[in-house]
Chain A
Amino acid sequence: VQLVESGGGLVQPGKSLKLSCSASGFTFSSYGMHWIRQAPGKGLDWVAYISSSSGTVYADAVKGRFTISRDNAKNTLYLQLNSLKSEDTAIYYCARAGSYVLWFAYWGQGTLVTVSS
């Protein structure tokens, strides 16, 4: 199992960014996926979840601004970040759901998003 995030970078407040999480080593279409973030020097915050059937759930802090999606043909998970705020500055990790035993057993290395003017 391998998860590789990309798309992070420096972006101005109010702008948008799209993160990707490329998955390999498992049948991506069969698994739900999460995004979790970690502000610099801070703890972990769950951001969003998408089921294998593309049902979605969001944290209140990002609801209406972020959109989680997936492309099973490309084995890729996405997170569209709109109307970015300074408090969205964080490392963004994707993590696999799946069987009860293995929920959150697999994480990517993270991609850093910095929101600053």
Chain B
Amino acid sequence: DIQMTQSPSSLPASLGDRVTITCRASQDIGNYLRWFQQKPGKSPRLMIYGATNLAAGVPSRFSGSRSGSDYSLTINSLESEDMAIYYCLQHNEYPLTFGSGTKLEIK
């Protein structure tokens, strides 16, 4: 199975900061990587697909990038509504596997 190693697990940040969350894939997954945002008591929301593409309705301060087997989600100019847990997901092959999550919280 493909392991998705996500870091950090917790990320204290201030409003207006630029933050980056990373997932490393244990095998080649191409660009079959998605990012999700989950707020307490809510279902996950798709933020990024194809590693770098913004999903519909997602603010432009969010972006995704790839460097080899490292995939990153960057949020520019952090806003209070961005405080949530973020997960990556590889869907290159079954079983699909999620990263362990990054809790973004106000410093």
Contacts and interface: CB of A to CB of B under 8 A. Distances in A.
Interface of A: 34, 43-46, 49, 57-60, 93, 100-101, 103-105, 107-110
Contact of B101 (A43, A100, A108, A109): A43
Given A100-B49, A104-B34, A46 B43 contact: no
Given A103-B49, A109-B43, A44 B98 contact: yes
B94 A45 contact: no
Nearest to B34: A104
A58 to B, nearest CB: 8
12 contacts: A43-B100, A44-B44, A44-B98, A49-B94, A60-B95, A93-B44, A100-B50, A101-B50, A101-B55, A104-B46, A105-B56, A108-B43
B96 A46 contact: yes
A104 B89 contact: yes
Contacts, number: 53
Interface residues of B, number: 24
Contact of A110 (B43, B53, B98): B43
B91 interface: yes
Contacts of B55: 101, 105
B62 interface: no
A79 B34 CA distance: 24
A60 B55 CA distance: 30
Interface of B: 1, 34, 36, 38, 43-46, 49-50, 53, 55-56, 87, 89, 91, 94-101
A60 B97 CA distance: 12
A46 B98 contact: yes
A44 B56 contact: no
Nearest to A107: B43
Contacts of B43: 93, 107-110
A104 B36 contact: yes
Contacts of A107: 43-45
A101 B49 contact: yes
A34 B36 CA distance: 15
